[in-house]
Structures are given as structure tokens and as C-alpha cells.
Amino acid sequence: MKKGRCGADCGKCPYFRKLCIGCVIETCLVDKCIKGTSYTGITHPRSFCRLRPYCPIGGKDRPPPIPIPPLAGRKMAKVGFPRFVPEIDVADERSWFWRDGFQASAVFAPLWQLLTNEKILAHASSKGLHDYLGFDGKILLSTVMPDELIDRLETKDYFRLINDLKPDATMIPDNYTYTDAPLYQSWSQNIRLVSLANDFLKLDTPLIGLVKGANLRQMDWALRKQVEMGYASFAMPARELFEEERLDEFLPYVLISLKRSYRVREDFELLLYGVGQKLRNYKDISYSSLSWFLRAKHGEYYWDGLFYDLRDPVIRFEECYCEACGGMMPQDIIDLWFEDKERAMKTLAAHNLLDLSRLKRRKRR
């Protein structure tokens, strides 16, 4: 008989007894809690524990398993990610860079910002994202959102939103898969992901699959199901893994998994979502994030895909000949900041955008 680390009976698991190694996660929060260490907001205070349904002594039953639907299929073309896809803030017009004459072939618009702002949602739904934003390029809808919102949306809600917003492509719905929560939760979430990816085949909108999972097995499984259904463009939400410096544990295997599933490398594309920096070790991967804008708001300047404080002597007196700077150096942006803050911020943001979009390394003078 197989028992999880926390004492839950894995032998009775309705999911993948072979694929799943059982709950042997060292960091399992349920296991830790039973042994005496809890975490505020998750397993503590105990009366409000979020993981109670997965706990063998929690006194609540596990949610019933989600059945895996028979999967349909459809031939899909790639969305065609450029190297850098800027994310924008739909509620902050200063991030709508095309209004200042800068170009990009595609942007990501985050759905959660619309969901938390009724006025903007009503406005954007009534005329579609293209008219609302006044942007001619491709608008890709990002479904990456906080857990509370994920739990609130069903397939029909997504369909209604997508029909109203009319993006040029949309991610399939996001989920949550924590590396330190019981595997039953992350498997349930990943099956939900696949099931929704299957529902989404009914949409006319081009689709972007998601690479998610609490471990490599889960990522690999969800990825292969999406490949079976015909998905060819994938986004991997990677902000957390990147910040926890754990991306290298996962990314090489995701790439292997993808390469195994396709005959030719050109048949699929992968984008790292939420990573505001170029990763030199991984070629041919696209990126997307809002950091070009967020960092500009904080007076931070990108140079060759890395960011610096504007006052940093490393870059402070380096002239930049990008379309935004036209020969200005960071010191000039600091000076401009005193005269016309908005213009300085926008110049800095546009510069950051262009720096992140550059394919070649800069030459230091």
C-alpha cells in the first residue's frame, strides 16, 4: 500500500498511479503542518486552512476527481510570436506605446486587469480590444490571473469574454500548480487545464497552449495532451520559477518534451511569460512581460536585456541610438525628468521596450 508523505492514501488515488510518484514532496505543506510547522494564510490558522480537503486528518473530503474528457483535435497554425511580446497595462494609457509612434507586431493584454475593473471591461467589451486600445498589431489575450479569479470562471464565461473582446489569439485558461501543495491538487488543476483546452477547440480564435505543472511529469503530461489536440504555440508562465531561480530545473526538459513531440523544430513555438529579461542560454524562445513599463516607472533602464538604475555609473553616460533615445544617455533622461516627467518616463519606457526587442547584443564603446 502506497501512502503519501502526509499519510494520505495514494493507493486510492483516482488519477495517475503510474505517472504520479505519490506525495513524496519534501516541502509538502500538509505533511509539514501535521508534523508541526504551518504557514499563515495557507495552512494556518488551522480553522481556515486552504489545504484541508487534501489533509488525511483535516476532516474534509477531497474534491471529486475531474474526469479527463475524450480529446478532440484540430490543425492549428502557430500564432507567430516575435522575440519579445510586450505586455501592456490596459488601465494605464502610458503603456500604449503605439500612440507615440513606436511599433510592435503583437502585445499581450491581461484579462485579469479587465475583470477587476468593471468600467474598462464594459468599455472594451462593447467595441472589442482593437478599437478600445487603438492598436493595429496582434492582440494576444493573457489569461494568467490570481487564483481567486481562476476559481470563479467557467468555460462559458471565457467564451463570452473572448467573443466580446475579439483578441487575435488567446491563451487557454490558466490554473495553479504549486510545488509544495499535495499532488492531488495540482493534478486536478492540470486535468482541468486539459479539459478547458479541449473546450477551447470550439472557438474560432487562434489558441495558445500553456505549459504548467508542479513537476516535470505534470508538465510533460499536460503538454503532450495539448500536442495531441493540435496546439502549436505555447506560453510558459515563468515569473515565479524565474524569481525563485528554478527555471533551469524545468525549461530544458520542457524543450526536450516539445522537440520529442514534433517532427521539426519549426512546427512549434514557445514563449516565456512574465520574464523581463533575456536568457542568453536559451535561443529561439520568445519572452513577454510588463517590466519594460514597470521598471520605467521606477526609473530603471534596460541595457542589453539587463536593467540598471538610471544613475548607475555603468550606463549613465552611454549614449543610446535607439528610436526612442536618438543619442540621449541616461543622464539626459534624468535631466528631462525634471522638466517634463511624463515625457521622460515615456522615453525611458519606449527605450526599454526597444532594448528588450533587440535581437543582437549591443557593442560597448
Partner 1 sequence: MGGGSAVKQHERRFLQGEREDTGKKKECGEAYWSVKTFGEYEVRETKGGEYGLFKKGNLVGMFVKATVEEERILFPLSRGFMLEVSRRGVREITIPEKALLMGMVAADGSNRSRREPRRRGGYRTDYLTAFYSDDLELIRMFDESANRVYNLASHHYVRKRNGLITAAIYSKGIYYDLSDLNLKPGPYEFHAPREHLDDEGKRAFLKGFFSGDGNVSVSGGEITIRFYSRCREGLEELRQTLMDLGFHPRGIREDREPKGKSTYSFLIPRSEHIKFINEIGSYRPKHVRIFEEMKRRGEGREE
- The answer to whether 240 contacts partner 1 (rule: CB under 8 A) is yes
- The answer to whether 23 contacts Zn ion (rule: CB under 5 A) is yes
- The answer to whether 271 contacts partner 1 (rule: CB under 8 A) is no
Residue of 10, 165, 310, 325 that binds Zn ion (CB under 5 A): 325
Q: Is residue 222 exposed (0-12), middle (13-18) or buried (19+ Cβ within 10 Å)?
A: buried
Q: From the list Zn ion, partner 1, none, pick the one residue 4 interacts with, judged by a Cβ distance below 5 to 8 Å according to partner type.
A: Zn ion
- The answer to whether 298 contacts partner 1 (rule: CB under 8 A) is yes
Place of cell 524565474: 242
Q: Which of residues 148-177 bind partner 1 (CB under 8 A)?
A: 150, 174-177
* Selected range binding Zn ion among 17-25, 161-169, 205-213, 293-301, rule: CB under 5 A: 17-25
The CA distance from 223 to 212, in Å, is 8
Whether 201 and 74 have beta carbons less than 8 Å apart is answered as yes
Minimum distance from CB of 179 to partner 1 (Å)?
5
The DSSP code sequence of 145-208 is --HHHHHH--HHHHHHHHHHH--SEEEPPP----TTS-HHHHHHHHHHHHHHHHHGGGSSS-EE
- Nearest CA to 139 out of 112, 105, 92, 99 is that of 105
Residue of 19, 57, 122, 256 that binds partner 1 (CB under 8 A): 57
Alpha-carbon dihedral of residues 24, 29, 31, 34, nearest 10 degrees? 180
Minimum distance from CB of 78 to partner 1 (Å)?
24
Which residues have a Cβ under 8 Å from the Cβ of 105 and sit 6 or more positions away? 82, 137, 138
Q: From the list partner 1, Zn ion, none, pick the one residue 312 interacts with, judged by a Cβ distance below 5 to 8 Å according to partner type.
A: partner 1
Give the binding site for partner 1 (CB under 8 A).
Answer: 27, 29, 33-42, 44-49, 52, 55, 57-59, 144-147, 150, 174-181, 212, 237-241, 243-244, 246, 277, 281, 297-300, 306-312, 314, 334, 337-339, 341, 344-345
